[in-house]
Structure 1
């Protein structure tokens, strides 16, 4: 049986749906980016956690880009307006102001395209394709993704538009609604927030793509 079958089923309409209030999943990404005509590759595995009630999310990212292995954990505490970035090897931590609203995984801001059947016979499910674009006009990111009847993401493709030249393919699996809240607790190495620090917003494309190793340090 498919892992997604354990989650409650909700009706998906063309006007959108939302994932459960609390969920966790693995995400596998593989991508290609062109920088001044030179191709760069990356592959990464993430574990993602979302909890709507406490307005917290976390992502543990381990990836390789051009032969370099890297890792980072990002904890977003929206209620307390704090974002923690932790180096997975050294446990070094930085803390930033984070005044961003918590957002559930929902499809209502995306364009519904069509339905597709994945798998065969009893080991199959119906998926729903959506599309949206994010970012400024000269650097938009296109996003095509499939969700299940339970509004769980299954597959996705991100690609650069305008001045951005990259393609990232994603797959999701091992979904669960049962996990320990300790994943949201920052380590003791995280210092108190210094008011001189500026507001900070993590763009996951910056982490996954090739400037991630430069920004967060080699492991």
Structure 2
């Protein structure tokens, strides 16, 4: 995947609006393109996400395709320990790096502007939604975000997201879809790294968050 291009480090202090449950699981599909020095690169990423805000940890299975290159990586973010584990499921190689900051709350950010209310589908099974827009700025990054969420009482669930702008000299455009979201963590062992990671040293490089809604 396009590491080092679509990434940034930021610390957010204020979150407002609706939030997802503290613990949830689901799918995130990302389709996008970046243009660097006039060269375009398309990519497709499917993330199986387990988000545990209660214990400050996130686990993912990331299946990505960029051109003809495919990677399948298990990723664990343990914010209490300040460590990210990367386990390449094609080679079984484990690497560890530092995490800076805390877990990003799964909430609509404080600087978001609410747009119109919409619904998906039709008839008795239509799904209501609310749209939000904001600009994410950091050094070398200027990205506009559009997010649609489906409200459910005091909580909300993301449905779709669009991100477009500039990240680290590259022009980027991404569309994101969220599917099959359920409350709770079905299998807590997804947050436990395999034994092959035990003796691996932590690299000096630090994990950098993406600019999207969940920083993933």
Alpha carbons of structure 1 residues 156 and 166: separation in structure 2 relative to 1, 3 Å: same
Name the residue aligned to 2:193: 186
- Give 1:1-219 correspondences, 5 Å limit: 16-109=17-110, 110-136=112-138, 138-150=140-152, 151-161=156-166, 163-178=169-184, 179-192=186-199, 194=201, 197-198=203-204, 200-204=206-210
Q: Distance in 1 between matches of 2:179 and 2:124?
A: 18
Q: Deviation digits for residues 7-57 of structure 1, max 9, x if unmatched?
A: xxxxxxxx6111001101101111122122222111121111111221111
The normalised TM-score by structure 2 is: 0.80
* Contact kept? 1:62, 1:69, Cα under 8 Å: yes
Q: How many equivalent residue pairs?
A: 190
Q: Distance in 2 between matches of 1:81 and 1:186?
A: 14
Aligned-pair Cα RMSD in Å: 2.0
* Contact kept? 2:49, 2:60, Cα under 8 Å: yes
Q: Distance in 1 between matches of 2:200 and 2:100?
A: 14
Question: Which structure shows the higher strand fraction?
Answer: 2
Name the residue aligned to 1:6: none
Q: Distance in 2 between matches of 1:136 and 1:21?
A: 27
Question: Which structure shows the higher helix fraction?
Answer: 1
1:203: Cα distance to partner? 3.2
Name the residue aligned to 1:10: none
